[in-house]
A and B are shown apart, each in its own frame.
Chain A
């Protein structure tokens, strides 16, 4: 299971890594429902929420920017559970591919732009692309 919730709590409380290992990850639905995916898409496209289209081309999105890479073939590029976790970490802001003082990718979780649940939904959605 993805350790999203745990990660966030750890950041907030600055708990030890030993605790992460011992603590069970929160259970999220293994296969997102069609409704949840639709919600993820809405969050990703909404200008005041994810606004991912400002920077990323996404299938079905209009007037997309090209600051970031196109969000395409996500499953193939981020395979398996580890891949999906990595996507979550990128959107959350825990994992930067480029130093943060240079990267345009907003730290959606770290800066509380989106809730953990919203990020989860967006990641589930972009994983279908």
Chain B
């Protein structure tokens, strides 16, 4: 059963490499296959619980997580995000609308006019720049706080990434390819850790499933003692793969985020989530 999926998942990549005849990926079929894979692999984990990442695989860690949630360490960061929002409210409301609960769920999306993926963070900085404000630094600090504020206000809403054009489909496919392809000195791919070996341990770290990967971002990580964006996490994983990471908000990471988010469609947003 695992084999079957592995073949399905690697089909696109292998087919392109081996024959150069190009089989277009159908994102929705792809997503359903991935969901089925995880459902069969762990029948006890409910679909809607996949926003919980690696915690689903360990009762101990889940208990620790729940006790942390009693006094969440990220509340100050959300307050900081709210303060940032209030400070330039007119600017943000002009870009995103004044209902702060309706922003997070729109991202990421494929921006047809610019032929690229727009993420919440890239939109925040574009909005600031257009208003003559200095853009925030990517990955942590104010950008993550503001993004966390929008995420917090959208908690419980379902990830709903749309693919309605060939451009969007291609962006998905590019992200998927990056996810599947072994790279770097260790010959690792994202899929090796987060799909084929999800639930196993690398040293003491339990590997999360990619289903649900984007739901909790930006996350508050104990190791960072602060918030970090999804692209910060991508950077960290690529470093562990002994790769020179791409830049935050590079086209590569935007496509990767688009793929990871689409795959997580239907799961509840719960940013900023607590992670070890």
Question: Which residue of A53, A65, A106 contacts B186 across the interface (Cβ within 8 Å)?
Answer: A106
Interchain nearest-CB distance for B274 vs A (Å): 22
B189: CB under 8 A from chain A?
yes
- What residues on A are CB-neighbors of B95 within 8 Å? none
B200: CB under 8 A from chain A?
yes
Q: What's the A-B contact tally at a CB cutoff of 8 Å?
A: 51
- What residues on A are CB-neighbors of B193 within 8 Å? 104
- Contact across chains for A111 and B203 when beta carbons are under 8 A apart: no
Question: Which residue of B10, B203, B204 contacts A101 across the interface (Cβ within 8 Å)?
Answer: B10
A interface residues, tally (CB under 8 Å): 19
- Contact across chains for A66 and B201 when beta carbons are under 8 A apart: yes
- What residues on B are CB-neighbors of A13 within 8 Å? none
Complex Cα gap A66–B205 (Å): 10
B102: CB under 8 A from chain A?
no
B interface residues, tally (CB under 8 Å): 23
- Residues 92-129 of A, flagged 1 when their CB comes within 8 A of B and 0 if not, give 01000000111110110001110000000000000000
Complex Cα gap A100–B189 (Å): 11
Can you pick out 20 interface pairs between chain A and chain B where the beta carbons lie within 8 Å of each other? A53-B203, A55-B202, A63-B204, A64-B203, A65-B201, A65-B202, A65-B203, A65-B204, A66-B201, A67-B197, A67-B202, A93-B187, A100-B182, A101-B10, A101-B13, A101-B180, A104-B188, A104-B196, A106-B188, A111-B187
Residues of B within 8 A of A (CB): 6, 10, 13-14, 180-182, 185-189, 192-193, 196-197, 200-205, 207
